[in-house]
């Protein structure tokens, strides 16, 4: 009696496990942000650039669908350049704004989506000679 019950229980568990493994992976959407990053008035008022850099350290493609840069007062900054889109494993991309003229802090926000989203990155401020003045990591 107990042997039949045990065999039936094991068969049921195997069936449940096989069903769970047959499910396709669904896409997930993950939001990231970095900042606020501030470099100081002398640099920001003389044409600093704000860069948001992203790296895919996962094993699947990640789509970077939303890319935004904001000032500390919540104003969206025009994106001057963008190499992000579908980010392959082991690859990086960036989006940036040119020639900030405001003495404010800057932040970037992005959305990554895919079956497995494993990205890292930074927001950085560079002076007109491309020297990095301030940098902060992306977080979920």
pLDDT per position as a tens digit, 19-60: 444 455 677 888 889 989 888 877 777 778 899 999 999 999
**Alpha-carbon gap, residue 47 to 77, rounded angstroms:** 14
78 within 8 A of 97, measured Cβ to Cβ? yes
The angle formed by the CA atoms of residues 67, 138 and 24, to the nearest 5 degrees, is: 75
Mean pLDDT across the chain, nearest whole number?
A: 82
Residue ranges of domains in the chain = 25-137
CATH architecture, domain defined by 25-137: Sandwich (2.60)
pLDDT band at 101 (very low <50, low <70, confident <90, very high): low
- The pLDDT of residue 25 is 64
109: left (phi over 0), alpha (psi -120 to 50) or beta: beta
pLDDT digits (tens, 9 = 90+) for 72-86: 889 999 999 999 999
Say yes or no to pLDDT of 17 above 70. Answer: no
Average pLDDT over residues 121-135: 91
């Amino acid at each position: 009696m107990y042997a039949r019950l045990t065999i039936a229980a094991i068969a049921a568990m195997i069936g449940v496990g096989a069903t769970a493994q047959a499910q396709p992976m669904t896409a997930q959407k993950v939001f990231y942000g970095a900042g606020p990053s501030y470099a100081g008035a002398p640099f920001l008022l003389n044409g600093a650039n704000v860069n948001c850099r992203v790296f895919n350290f996962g094993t699947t493609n990640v789509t970077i669908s939303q890319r935004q840069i904001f000032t500390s007062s919540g104003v969206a900054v025009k994106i001057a350049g963008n190499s992000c889109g579908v980010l392959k494993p082991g690859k990086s991309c960036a989006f940036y704004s040119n020639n900030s003229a405001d003495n404010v802090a800057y932040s970037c926000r992005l959305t990554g989506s895919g079956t497995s989203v494993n990205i890292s990155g930074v927001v950085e401020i560079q002076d007109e000679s491309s020297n990095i003045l301030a940098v902060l990591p992306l977080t979920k």
